[in-house]
Amino acid sequence: MAKHVLILGGNGALGKAVVDSFARHKWNTLSLDLTANERASRSFLLRPGANWVEQAGLLETELRGALQQQKLAAIVNVAGGWAGGNAADPDFLANCDLMWRQSVQSSVIAAQLAARHGAPGSLLVLSGAASARQPTPFMLAYGMAKAAVHQLTASLAGPESGLPPNATVVALLPSTLDTPGNRAGMPQADTSSWTPLPFVADLVHTWAEGKERPQSGSLVSLVTQSGATRIEVSRS
């Protein structure tokens, strides 16, 4: 029987790559995003008007219907965003809100679903940031949200965190992903240090299959140089 994966942010650039990688290996792919991913087995849509607690409840109801008592073998959160600005920025408070919603709330919902619907030994992947392992004075809101995700990752790996038995939680810490958006936004950049999306997607799929999994709680940095990518595993 096909294994089930839920991808939060499943119709973004990285989310599409993740859906494709799992689909190629005959997984049942469940996408959550503002828009449908037509290549996913099924798409759940975010409702922009709902608050996140309502949103999480609605999603869980739809998910229960889709799973029919089965469990998720993998939950992958690649939702997120970026905002710059320091404490003197007029948008500082608004950016803190936005980063919290995009990175932290999505990670918290992923963790809750992993606790409730993850199979024993399932995989939970969250999205951190390599930059947030250092001070981030020029992007305060982003750094705070990603630091919170790193702490969540470390904490979920601890005893009695609520995750299923033998679950693995890992945070991906990309530097710059090679997405259409980044190519459009930084047309002059040297892309040889950007991480290709299929590398990330296949890495996540490999872990989901139970192969080469890092220790639970790991922060996995993706380091691309001259077009070649390696991973560096650390702890928060």
Residue 96 lies near a copy of itself (rule: CB under 8 A) = yes
User: Order of strands, edge to edge, in the sheet holding 28-33?
Assistant: 42-45, 28-33, 4-8, 72-77, 118-127, 168-173, 218-225, 228-234
- In 3D space, the residue among 160, 186, 171 whose CA is nearest the CA of residue 222 turns out to be 171
Please count the other Cβ atoms lying within 10 Å of the Cβ belonging to residue 156.
Answer: 24
Residue from 14, 125, 157, 203 that binds a copy of itself (CB under 8 A)? 157
Give dist(CA 88, CA 90) in Å, integer: 6
142 is catalytic: yes
Among residues 7 and 141, whose Cβ is nearest to a copy of itself? 141
Binding mask 109-128 for a copy of itself (x = CB under 8 A): x-xx-xxx------------
Q: Are strands 218-225 and 228-234 parallel, antiparallel or unpaired?
A: antiparallel
Among residues 105 and 195, whose Cβ is nearest to a copy of itself? 105
Residue from 143, 170, 177, 208 that binds a copy of itself (CB under 8 A)? 143
Residue 94 lies near a copy of itself (rule: CB under 8 A) = yes
Among residues 145 and 197, whose Cβ is nearest to a copy of itself? 145
| Cβ–Cβ < 8 Å for 42, 92 | no
Residue from 135, 165, 180, 187 that binds a copy of itself (CB under 8 A)? 135
Torsion angle of the four alpha carbons 30, 33, 39, 43, in this order, in degrees rounded to the nearest 10: 50
Residue 229 forms beta bridges with which residues?
A: 224
Catalytic residue among 142, 194, 199, 207: 142
Q: How far is the CB of 204 from a copy of itself (least distance, A)?
A: 20
Phi, psi of 151 (to 5 degrees): -65, -40
Contacts to a copy of itself from residues 40-79, by CB under 8 A: 52-53, 56
Among residues 145 and 201, whose Cβ is nearest to a copy of itself? 145
- In 3D space, the residue among 31, 23, 33, 65 whose CA is nearest the CA of residue 198 turns out to be 23
Residue 45 forms beta bridges with which residues?
A: 33
Among residues 7 and 99, whose Cβ is nearest to a copy of itself? 99
- List contacts with a copy of itself (CB under 8 A): 52-53, 56, 86-89, 92-94, 96-97, 100, 104-105, 108-109, 111-112, 114-116, 132, 134-138, 140, 143-152, 154-163, 217, 236
Q: Catalytic amino acids?
A: 142
